[in-house]
Structure 1
Amino acid sequence: MSNPAAPESAPYATIGFTLKQAQHALRTRMDADLRGIGLTTPQYAVLACLKIEPGASNASLARHAFVTPQTMQAILVTLEKAGLITRSPHPEHGRVRRTEMTVEGLRALEAATDIVADAETRLRKAAAPLDYQAVTALLLRLTDALR
């Protein structure tokens, strides 16, 4: 017997399909909201990473933003042209470039932080009455199971 409260997509409600739906909904929401301040979700991820890891390499930034190094290169060019980051040669590794956030980049990150916090609040409310830490732990276990 089917659950009358289940969404219309319930026949496809496998764990993997549902995770992808949630990821897509999060990305769509964040891209739409960040667009208002001139950023995309991967661009936000770069700025957030640079706040924690100033001077991060292209490869490190790509891992944090879940994109390929080639895609990250295009993201960095866009952010640099917008004046949100600067890039300079690494003092020890000739082919590696250090990436750092500018004052304008920090301002953009601060504006984006409220948008990202709103998305996180929506997710936590939707997870209730479950504890968000329990939901996060479950998602991490699912991630580890596939690695």
Structure 2
Amino acid sequence: MSQEGVDLDKSLGYLLKESSSALRASMEEVLRPLGMSVTHYSCLELLAQRPGLSNSELARGAFVTRQTMNVLLKSLERDGDVTRPTEAAVGKVLPARLTPRGRERLEKATVAVRSVEVRMLAGMSSADQAEAFRILQGLIRSLRDGGVGEGD
């Protein structure tokens, strides 16, 4: 441990970031042969669950900037995975929807991503998995809510 720093092996934040990076790298590895990135997959998954999301809503859900999502949506539209109206019905929002081709590609990607999740959880019992979900959800809630009044 350095004199001024934190022992990274004992820093929960560092371990969470390291696990997030490992998960993303594993997901990118299985999605690459399908011609997708994690952001591409996230966008398709979000649209499958909530058709008609706007560029801004998709960007928030995929943890990218609006500009990055706009570029991705144009690419998905050009490739035939997504459709958007040419003109906004109200304001500037162009709601996106999956095409049948987009749904088919999402199904393949979901199988690939699920294989990564299964591998990630392979060494954990069902009870450990449930506890991990509970703990992670609690961490997220504490950070989003500022931690006031939280705790078990």
In structure 1, give the amino acid aligned to 2:8: Y
- Alignment partner, residue 31 of structure 2: 34
- CA, structure 1 residues 18+130, in 2 after alignment: closer, same or farther (shift >3 Å)? farther
TM-score, length basis structure 2: 0.83
Q: What is the Cα deviation at residue 103 of structure 1?
A: 1.2
The reply to whether residue 85 of structure 1 matches residue 82 of structure 2 is: yes
Tell me, yes or no, if the aligned pair for 1:55 and 1:99 is still in contact at 8 Å. Answer: yes
> Hey, what's the Cα distance between the residues in 2 that align with 1:127 and 1:143?
21
Unaligned runs of 5+ in 1: 1-10
Q: How many residues align?
A: 136
Given the alignment, which residue of 95, 100, 111 partners 1:114?
A: 111
Q: Deviations over 1:78-97 (max 9, x none)?
A: 21122111111342x23000
Tell me which residue corresponds to 1:123.
120
> Which residue identity is paired with 1:12?
L
State the 1:52 CA deviation.
1.3
Q: How far does residue 130 in structure 1 lie from its aligned partner after superposition?
A: 4.7
Residue type at the aligned position of 2:21: H
SS of the equivalent of 2:84 reads: strand
Give the match for residue 65 of structure 1: 62
Q: Report the counterpart of residue 147 of structure 2 in structure 1.
A: none
The secondary structure found in structure 1 opposite 2:96 is strand
Is residue 12 from structure 1 mapped to residue 5 from structure 2 by the alignment?
no
Match of 2:47 among 47, 50, 65: 50
> What secondary structure, in the 3-state scheme, does the structure 1 residue paired with 2:95 have?
strand
Query: Aligned Cα RMSD in Å?
Result: 1.5
Mapped to 1, the partners of 2:91 and 2:122 lie a distance apart of 48
Runs of 4+ in structure 1 off by over 3 angstroms are 126-130
1:136 aligns with 2:145: no
Letter matched to residue 58 of structure 2: L
The answer to whether the 8 A contact 1:49-1:64 is kept is: yes
Identity %: 36
SS at match of 1:56: coil
| Separation of aligned partners in 1, 2:111 and 2:126 | 24
Contact 1:47 1:105 in 2 (8 A): yes
Q: What TM-score results when the alignment is normalised by the length of structure 1?
A: 0.85
